[in-house]
Amino acid sequence: MVLLLDFISVLVVIVPVLLSVAYMTIIERKVLAALQRRVGPDTVGWGLGQPFADALKLILKESVIPQYANKVLFVIAPIISLVFALLGWLIVPFGSGLTLGDISLGILYTLAVTSLGIFGILIAGWASNSKYPLLGGIRATAMMISYELILSSAVLIVIFFTGSFSYFHLVESQESIWFIIPLLPIAIIFFISILAESARVPFDLTEAESELVSGFNTEYGSLVFVAFFLAEYSSIILLSTLSSLFFLGGYNWSEWVINDTFISLQSMILGIKTCIFAFIFVWIRATLPRLRYDQLIILCWIYLLPIVIAFIIWVPCILFSFDIVSI
């Protein structure tokens, strides 16, 4: 009975996430169309059924595995990416006490899971036994090493304010003021890092069409490509949710409302804040060109890293000097 309840709890989280992924694709296409003065998809169910039509098309396609590919790793790679993308939702708080797994080291768990997801891309690039996927995998490796450092450093600065690795404590610490106000530069750097982590424009160098055909997923189609597709958009929604938790107070609206609101209203507040960051993902895709590879590395190591290190030194000094927290 306990296992059944746990399974139902997982489904209650995973099914809405997958539905959100489906509609994230149509929202992205409609927003891009609006920003580019186009109509966008409007045929299948006035556009609302387009994600399901695309999914059905991919599922019905023949699955082709390259002759010289490592067939076992070729199939496992997208599964690894999808599993780690969904595991990140295990400790996301949707309201007061509403989460699948409340662990005291939830933020560390998130950093670990989001870091491991990149191995699916690396394995896919190597297992395809093709030069373009291999180059995409190598680029993903360099991006992971570079921007994972920036991302974890930005999270460390937020932890200085909370003094805890718990998401619930993180949200409670923002009842008086959201962290985006005192930590606006760090919030911007954090968002740049998650753009690189999810390989989105202008950091989509792992699948640059003009250079690598389609990058690490060049040889993929049918169901295995669907797994990569779900993993990418699930990661975008997860990272948008984490951004709202770290800098916009999560499900918290204000200190005089949080203790009396219903959990459903708290989840709606979290969803609205998540949509704001998801929209920025799409807005940036429609606005910015892709960086060159050398510009990607220079941006991280020459510009962002010194700024983050300076904040890591400066923020604890300010907190200790004004006796805000005891370090």
Q: What is the mean pLDDT of residues 292-310?
A: 92
Q: How confident is the model at residue 262 (pLDDT cuts 50, 70, 90)?
A: low
Q: What pLDDT is attached to residue 192?
A: 94
Q: What pLDDT is attached to residue 254?
A: 54
Whether 266 maps to a domain, the answer reads no
Whether 302 maps to a domain, the answer reads yes
The total domain count for the chain is 1
Whether 74 maps to a domain, the answer reads yes
Element (H, E) at 167: helix 167-172
Whether 24 maps to a domain, the answer reads no
Distance CA 299, CA 305 (A): 9
- Work out the mean pLDDT of the chain and round it to a whole number: 86
Whether 263 maps to a domain, the answer reads no
Number of Cβ within 10 Å of residue 56's Cβ equals 11
Q: How confident is the model at residue 212 (pLDDT cuts 50, 70, 90)?
A: confident
- Which pTM value belongs to this model? 0.92
Tell which residue, 125, 182, 140, 126, has the closest CA to residue 311: 182
Q: What is the mean pLDDT of residues 306-312?
A: 94
- Name the least confident of 202-216, 249-263, 312-326: 249-263
Distance CA 295, CA 287 (A): 17
Q: How confident is the model at residue 138 (pLDDT cuts 50, 70, 90)?
A: confident
Q: Distances in Å between the alpha carbon of 277 and those of 152, 221, 228, 244?
A: 19, 29, 21, 8
Judge contact between 6 and 13, C-beta under 8 A.
no
Whether 179 maps to a domain, the answer reads yes
Owner of token pair 């610490």: 173
Distance CA 327, CA 325 (A): 6
Q: Which residues are CB-neighbours of 257 under 8 A, at least 6 positions away?
A: none
Q: What pLDDT is attached to residue 263?
A: 64
- Name the least confident of 2-11, 117-126, 174-183, 199-208: 2-11
How many CA atoms are closer than 13 Å to the CA of 291, on its beta-carbon side? 21
Q: Distances in Å between the alpha carbon of 79 and those of 31, 58, 84?
A: 29, 16, 9
Residue 326 has pLDDT above 60, yes or no: no
Q: What is the mean pLDDT of residues 103-111?
A: 89
Distance CA 268, CA 82 (A): 25
Whether 220 maps to a domain, the answer reads yes
- Name the least confident of 59-68, 153-162, 279-288: 59-68
- Which tokens in the block code for residue 83? 């599993």
Distance CA 98, CA 107 (A): 16
Whether 265 maps to a domain, the answer reads no
% of the chain surpassing 70 pLDDT: 94
pLDDT tens for 18-38 read: 888 888 988 899 999 998 888
Residue 87's domain comprises 67-249+274-321
Q: What is the mean pLDDT of residues 302-310?
A: 94
Residue 256 has pLDDT above 70, yes or no: no
